[in-house]
Every structure is written in C-alpha cells, then in structure tokens.
A and B are shown apart, each in its own frame.
Chain A
Amino acid sequence: QVQLQESGPGLVKPSETLSLICSVSGDSISTYYWSWIRQTPGKGLEWIGYIYYSGSTKYKSSLKSRVAISVDTSKNQFSLTVTSVTAADTALYYCARGVTVAGAHYLDYWGQGTLVTVSS
C-alpha cells in the first residue's frame, strides 16, 4: 500500500521560506509524477506543481517565480519550497502521486496533509 506523509514547520514568518517534505513508502519514487497541492481552509484545491522522478518539473504559472520542487530518490522523498511567503500562502498542503497514461493525469494516492500558517 502506497503511503505519503508530509512533514515540515507548521508556522512560517512572512517573507520567509516555506519548506515541506513528502516521504513515500510502499513504492519507489523512481517512477510516476509527484505533486504538491494546497487547500486554503474552507476553500478548494489548488495544484502547485509536480516533479517527475527524473527531475523534470512543472509549476502553476502564478506560483512559478516562488516555488521549487525537488526529488531525493535515495530517501524516497520529494520536497517543496515556497519563497517570500505571505498570509495568502496559509493553507493545508498535500502531497500526492500522479499517474500519466494515455494523455490522462490523475492523483491516486494522497498524504494526510499538513497545515502551514504564515504569521509573525
């Protein structure tokens, strides 16, 4: 059974950098796509970006200048950094496994999510 677990600080100061790690168990990270998604309390899902195990990435256009996703195949982990955070980055952050087949892309396994609050 594939499991994903997010970890990282729950509180980040404005203008600083948010850093999260997603640990994957039950499957090798050396395949599939690996995504980060966030959800503002009471609101909908927002895709942040994904990384392919080979290292290629794609980010949501509006976040591209502040976001980076990297992968560590030796630890079976991938990570997210968001720079220059503001209160608007306060959200529940999820990591998820992405499958691409025949032109479709879907997220079949999700972590439990970790709440990040941006506040001084």
Chain B
Amino acid sequence: SYELTQPPSVSVSPGQTASITCSGDKLGDEYASWYQQRPGQSPILVIYQDKKRPSGIPERFSGSNSGNTATLTISGTQAVDEGDYYCQARDNSGYVLFGGGTKLTVL
C-alpha cells in the first residue's frame, strides 16, 4: 500500500529555517498538503496543492513537491510554530493518506 514517510522529529533554533520532508513513491505526481497541530488542538491546514497558503497562514510557511519528496519550509521559525506537522496526499485510487507526523521543536 502507498505510504508517506516523515522524520519523527526536527529541531530548529528561533529565527532559523526548518525543513520537514515527506517521502512517497512518485509523490511529486500527486498534490501534497501540510497540517500543523499544536498540543491539544485540532490540525490546521498550512499548505495545500504543494505550495499554496490558506488565508491567515504566515508567509514564512512555504511548500514544494518534486520527485518522491514534498517539503514544508518554515523561514524565520518562531516559538509559536512548535507542534506536530503532517503531510497528506491522495493516491491515484482516491484514498487519502497522512504521513506519520513530525514533531517540530524550536530550541
């Protein structure tokens, strides 16, 4: 079955750039989305269609998707960006998939 693989954790210093990857076979042929989940809260969509930001999401969030890897990049990371991040795609059979999630720590 199709799977999306994320690193369990990523650490970044405040003000630096954080990159979170999501790997899947030919993922670049599908559209990827990204969700932020702060502790005790529901997930929030931060990137859709690989690189689009919903209204209200800061410009420091950006996305890319090519080959087998989608990447969420957070520029000028702030403490408020700490949380879990999940990638999501839909395979060519229409099934929705989530990556295992990445815990972002801002040290």
Q: Tell me the complex Cα distance, A112–B48, Å.
A: 21
Task: Give chain A residues whose Cβ lies under 8 Å from the Cβ of B33.
Answer: 104-107
Task: Give chain A residues whose Cβ lies under 8 Å from the Cβ of B50.
Answer: 104
New A-B pairs, 13, CB < 8 Å, besides A60-B95, A104-B33? A44-B100, A45-B88, A45-B98, A47-B98, A99-B48, A103-B30, A103-B31, A104-B48, A105-B90, A107-B35, A108-B45, A110-B42, A113-B42
Query: Is B44 an interface residue when CB atoms closer than 8 A count as contact?
Result: yes
Task: Give chain A residues whose Cβ lies under 8 Å from the Cβ of B1.
Answer: 61
Q: B82 → chain A, closest Cβ, in Å? A: 16
Is B44 within 8 A of A110, CB to CB? yes
Counting contact residues on chain A (CB < 8 A from B), the size range is 20 to 34
A-B residue pairs in contact (CB < 8 Å), sample of 11: A44-B99, A47-B96, A61-B1, A94-B43, A102-B31, A102-B49, A103-B30, A103-B31, A107-B33, A107-B43, A110-B44
Quick one: which of B88, B94, B100 contacts A107, CB cutoff 8 A? B88
Interface string of B1-35 (1 = CB under 8 A from A): 10000000000000000000000000000110101
Query: Is A66 an interface residue when CB atoms closer than 8 A count as contact?
Result: no
Task: Give chain A residues whose Cβ lies under 8 Å from the Cβ of B43.
Answer: 45, 94, 107, 110
Is A112 within 8 A of B42, CB to CB? yes
Residues of B within 8 A of A (CB): 1, 30-31, 33, 35, 42-45, 48-50, 54, 86, 88, 90, 94-101
- Within 72-120 of A, Cβ neighbours of B (below 8 Å) are at 94, 98-99, 101-108, 110-113
Q: Is the interface of A mostly helix, strand, loop or mixed?
A: strand
Q: B7 → chain A, closest Cβ, in Å? A: 13
Task: Give chain A residues whose Cβ lies under 8 Å from the Cβ of B96.
Answer: 35, 47, 50, 98, 105
Is B98 within 8 A of A101, CB to CB? no
Task: Give chain B residues whose Cβ lies under 8 Å from the Cβ of A110.
Answer: 42-44
Q: Tell me the complex Cα distance, A58–B97, Å.
A: 12
